[in-house]
């Protein structure tokens, strides 16, 4: 029996809707990739072809396999390296899952597959989970297939605040997978005084031990917030340039040591980095794996909020299979099992109640099930037009290349 959608608090509804509508990202190009990184970022902003490709014929009836590309540490896995919920899905449906941690950041993944997408070809994945702003681009270019909601009855469990977004009205092309925050983390043993603001990262005693994210919208978003800019409101090139100058200074002075995507977690674990701009769920996982060594906080002037989403690429022949997969993961009990491992924000109504049976402590964690107070301090990096995206990405990449 499906759970009915829970009513959303007005503030929660507004903030999470902003996170979807503003097309913000979770990750972008990794630092240290050389001049090709900037070229990739700019090429990824191209406007696509004038003729949209045609969806592939669906062979789900005869080929019971799903190829799923996702980020690292983004689904439940046991000590044997197998995926319990995926195994249960296969047992329930007869559909096997080929799961690959193929996404390290949105732009680099898109750069690898955009040419095949433009031609309507199979990219080697039947579904991939990417961030709002990248999903918006793919939908705009006609690179995704329309979902048949009749095949996803559990979509009724999608939180009301996420059901209708400007880049995908009525969720015709995309369905949320997980969401989260960007904030500050520090090694509590090595830096017990902790952090409350981005400015605290610039303390002399942290010189050369600070890390930031290669996601422009998170790193620049937190710096801009620290400078008093409402990143979800009206701001322009002047505000962004002021933040870039601060970022550039901290890199040039050697205060910032590491600018990375997913691999920033290793720098925290080996203590190369003692304080950093991070993603919320990663710190919960690091603490679970290594002891309660790291503190996490949304800065006093605010953190960022984002969501990643399922899409079916235009050349995938397995859309019906993917719809069954989405339906399975929108069962609140399954969503709770995933959330207990990944520790990000689940979009499934009823998952918090299901989590009570798994781990009441996690059910009360505002980083997994945000309360009003947590969301009141979370902001969304506003949507950028094509010119802004290209301009701001180029400025950000110039700093990254200078740090390489």
Q: Are residues 251 and 389 in the same domain?
A: yes
19 falls in which pLDDT band (50, 70, 90)? Answer: very low
**39-53, 193-207, 338-352, 356-370: range with lowest mean pLDDT:** 39-53
Q: Would residue 3 count as lying in a domain?
A: no
CB 306 within 8 A of CB 131: yes
On whether residue 8 sits in a domain, the answer given is no
DSSP 345-364: B--BTTHHHHHHHH-HHHHT
Domain check: are 263 and 137 in the same one? no
> Is pLDDT above 60 for 246?
yes
Number of domains present in the structure of the chain? 2
Q: Is the pLDDT of residue 21 over 50?
A: no
Confidence of residue 144 (pLDDT cuts 50, 70, 90): very high
Q: For residue 239, give the CATH number of its domain.
A: 3.40.190.10
Check whether residue 158 and residue 48 sit in a common domain. Answer: yes
User: Do 283 and 205 belong to one domain?
Assistant: yes
Q: How confident is the model at residue 404 (pLDDT cuts 50, 70, 90)?
A: low
Residues 206 and 233 in one domain: yes
**Within a domain: residue 2?**
no
- Identify the three-state secondary structure at position 311: strand
Domain check: are 30 and 95 in the same one?
A: yes
DSSP 252: H
User: The whole model's pTM is what?
Assistant: 0.78
Host domain of residue 191? 181-305+385-403
* Max Cα-Cα span within the chain: 62
Q: Which one, of 155, 269, 303, 277, lies nearest residue 215 by Cα? A: 277
pLDDT of amino acid 45: 55
pLDDT classification of 371: cutoffs 50, 70, 90:
confident
291 and 352 co-located in one domain = no
| CA gap 376, 362 in Å, rounded | 20
Rounded CA separation 228/221 (Å): 11
pLDDT in tens, 208-237: 999 999 889 999 999 999 999 999 889 999
- Assigned domain for 395 exists: yes
* Residue 374, in any domain of the structure: no
57 and 118 assigned to the same domain: yes
Using the predicted structure, report yes or no on whether residue 47 has a pLDDT greater than 60: no
- Domain annotation covers residue 33: yes
The pLDDT of residue 373 is 87
Per-residue confidence (pLDDT) for residue 223, from 0 to 100: 98
- 214 & 317 share domain: no
The rounded distance, in Å, linking the Cα atoms of 341 and 343 is: 6
Q: Is there a single domain that holds both residue 187 and residue 253? A: yes
Contact (Cβ atoms closer than 8 angstroms) between residue 138 and residue 172 = no
* Residues 330, 273 within the same domain: no
- Asked whether the beta carbons of 85 and 117 are under 8 A apart, the reply is no
Domain membership flag for residue 35: yes
Residue % of the chain over a pLDDT of 90? 67
Do residue 110 and residue 139 come from a single domain? yes
- Note whether 117 and 285 are within 8 A (CB): no
Specify which of 38-42, 118-122, 378-382 reaches the highest per-range mean pLDDT.
118-122
Q: Is residue 273 part of a domain?
A: yes
Residue 49, pLDDT score: 53
Residues 110-121 have a mean pLDDT of: 96
Q: What is the pLDDT of residues 290-325, one digit of tens each?
A: 889 999 999 999 999 889 999 999 999 999 999 999
DSSP one-letter string for 63-113: --EEEEEEETT-S---TTS--HHHHHHHHHHS-EEEEEEEES-HHHHHHHH
């Amino acid at each position: 029996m499906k759970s009915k959608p829970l009513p959303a608090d007005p503030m929660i509804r507004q903030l999470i809707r902003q996170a979807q509508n503003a097309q913000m990202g979770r990750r972008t190009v990794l630092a240290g990739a050389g001049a090709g990184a900037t070229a990739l970022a700019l090429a990824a902003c191209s406007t696509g072809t004038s003729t949209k490709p045609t969806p592939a014929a669906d062979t789900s009836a005869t080929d019971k396999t799903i190829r799923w590309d996702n980020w690292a540490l983004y689904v439940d896995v046991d000590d044997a390296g197998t995926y319990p919920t995926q195994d249960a899905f296969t047992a329930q449906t007869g559909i096997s899952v080929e799961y690959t941690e193929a996404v390290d950041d949105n732009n680099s993944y898109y750069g690898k597959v955009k040419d095949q997408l433009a031609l309507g070809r199979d990219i080697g994945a039947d579904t991939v989970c990417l961030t709002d702003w990248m999903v918006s681009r793919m939908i705009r270019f006609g690179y995704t297939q329309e979902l048949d909601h009749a095949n996803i009855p559990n979509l009724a469990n999608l939180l009301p605040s996420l059901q209708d977004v400007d880049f995908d009205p009525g969720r015709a092309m995309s369905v949320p997978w997980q969401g989260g925050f960007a904030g500050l983390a520090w090694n509590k043993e090595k830096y017990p005084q902790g952090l409350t603001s981005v400015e605290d990262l610039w303390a002399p005693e942290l010189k050369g031990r600070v890390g930031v994210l290669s996601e422009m919208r998170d790193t620049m978003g937190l710096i801009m917030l620290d400078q008093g800019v409402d990143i979800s409101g009206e701001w322009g090139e002047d505000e962004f340039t002021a933040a870039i100058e601060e970022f550039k200074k901290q890199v040039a002075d050697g205060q910032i040591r590491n600018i990375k995507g997913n691999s920033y977690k290793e720098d925290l674990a080996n203590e190369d980095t003692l304080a950093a701009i991070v993603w919320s769920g990663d710190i919960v996982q690091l603490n679970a794996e290594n002891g309660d060594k790291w503190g996490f906080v949304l800065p006093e002037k605010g953190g960022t909020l984002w969501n990643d989403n399922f899409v079916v690429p235009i050349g995938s022949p397995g859309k019906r299979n993917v719809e069954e997969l989405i339906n399975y993961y929108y069962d609140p009990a399954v969503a709770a099992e995933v959330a207990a491992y990944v520790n990000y924000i689940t979009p499934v109504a009823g998952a918090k109640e299901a989590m009570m049976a798994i781990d009441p402590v996690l059910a009360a964690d505002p980083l997994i099930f945000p309360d009003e107070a947590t969301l009141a301090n979370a902001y969304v990096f506003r949507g950028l037009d094509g010119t802004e995206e290209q301009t701001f990405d180029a400025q950000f990449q110039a700093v990254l290349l200078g740090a390489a």
